[in-house]
Structure 1
Amino acid sequence: MPEQFATLAGGCFWCVEAVFDDVTGVNTVESGYIGGTVPNPTYEQVCSGRTGHAEAIRIGFDPEVISYGDLLDIFFHVHDGTQLNRQGNDVGTQYRSAIFPHDLEQDEEARAAIARAQEETDKPIVTTIEALGEWYPAEDYHQEYFAREGSKNGYCMAVVAPKLQKFRKSYAARLKAAATA
């Protein structure tokens, strides 16, 4: 079965990229921008909140190793789908929770994943399902940011590291390190 792609926005892309880099069956994770109106936006433009783009990740995965539904369950585990246009102290539409399905099957699975996530909380899930628009890779310095800069960056230590630790504890069997042990 050929590689498939998932495009997800769950706050700062450094946070979600770091988690999915560790998942067995994930081949690539690219940070970027999607869902806006300005062609080839820069990080500064997206951060202004005026382009309509979300910080997002595009995951290349092997569906024979991990399903799209499992990726979505991990997504809801590591970010808060009940926060509108924010994740923690990161506030603005660029930090919204959104799923960008690549086809009808992914759209149906996104709706099912939102329903599963809703069963786990009393607060309404505000994650949107948005049309897959033009994908713009983020600048090179954003790619694999946590892997390169995490231990030197206060934001990463305060925000990304705890998300990664939570994921690793809850999904130990899904870690690439576990698969090679």
Structure 2
Amino acid sequence: MNDSLVVAGGCFWCLDAVYRQVEGVKDVVSGYTGGHTANPFYEQVCAGGSGHAEAVEVVFDPQVISREQIMELFFVSHDPTTLNRQGYDVGTQYRSALFYRSEEEKQFFTEQIQHAQQFWADPIVTTLEPLGTFHVAEPIHQDFYANNPYSGYCQVIINPKVAKVRQYYSSWLKS
């Protein structure tokens, strides 16, 4: 059986790169959600006018990795205390957000934010939003890090995040 969570924490390439190396994660799909534009595309979302966030759907086997572990990786992989920004990526499309499908999932996300707050000096600004339509991003954005390891963005922005996860969560990683 597989479960999934939809999360946003800056550029989707970063979260995609982190989650793909975790044991029990079956798939990571980069996409757009939380906006008002039908059929958004990358350039439109990056321009900030669609209202969508760059997000990932993390599909995982709960017999191997718990949703609490998925959330722990989420809060370690980006800075949830910066509003509409992750590093040089600025705008609502890069917001920290959790997209829920049910009241139970909303409650779970609320509890995870409260738990994570103890590890951050500044208030967590991660939003809770109902999951509307999840628009799968263009093929070039799927598994971007593995397909473009030498791009400047991967080298400068993604590599440190991946290294941090490898350092602290090596027992959770695929062999």
TM bin, normalised by shorter chain, reads over 0.9
Q: Work out which of the residue numbers 159, 163, 170 in structure 1 matches 2:161.
A: 163
Q: Which residues of structure 2 form unaligned runs of 5+?
A: none
2:53 paired residue number: 54
Map of 1:87 onto structure 2? 86
Hey, what does 1:174 align to over in structure 2? 172
* TM-score, length basis structure 2: 0.97
Q: Deviations over 1:132-176 (max 9, x none)?
A: 11000000011111001022x111100001100000111000001
Aligned counterparts, 1:59-74, within 5 A = 59-74=58-73
1:1-181 aligned at under 5 Å gives the runs 2-151=1-150, 153-177=151-175
**Counterpart contact for 1:69–1:110, Cα < 8 Å:** no
Distance 1:142 1:100 in 2: 20
Q: Which amino acid aligns with 2:17?
A: A
Shift of 1:102: 2.7
Deviation digits for residues 76-99 of structure 1 (CA, Å, limit 9, x no counterpart): 011100010010110000000000
Q: Is the contact between residue 68 and residue 109 of structure 1 (CA under 8 Å) also seen in structure 2? A: no
RMSD: 0.9
SS of aligned partner of 1:65 = coil
How many residues of Structure 1 are paired with residues of Structure 2 in the alignment?
175
Aligned mates of 1:92, 1:127 — CA distance in 2: 14
Please list the CA deviations of residues 83-140 of structure 1 after superposition, one character each: whole Å capped at 9, or x if unmatched.
Answer: 1001011000000000012333322221111011111122010001100110000000
Q: Distance in 2 between matches of 1:168 and 1:101?
A: 28
User: Is the partner of 2:160 in helix, strand or coil?
Assistant: helix
Q: Percent identity?
A: 48
SS of 1:168's partner is helix
Unaligned 5+ runs, structure 1? none
Task: Point out the more displaced range, 106-115 or 89-98.
Answer: 106-115
For residues 19 and 121 of structure 1, the distance between their equivalents in structure 2, rounded to whole angstroms, comes to 20
Alpha-carbon distance between aligned partners in 1 of 2:22 and 2:101, rounded to the nearest angstrom: 20
Confirm or deny: 8 A CA contact 1:68 1:106 kept in the other structure: no
Question: Hey, what's the Cα distance between the residues in 2 that align with 1:34 and 1:82?
Answer: 20
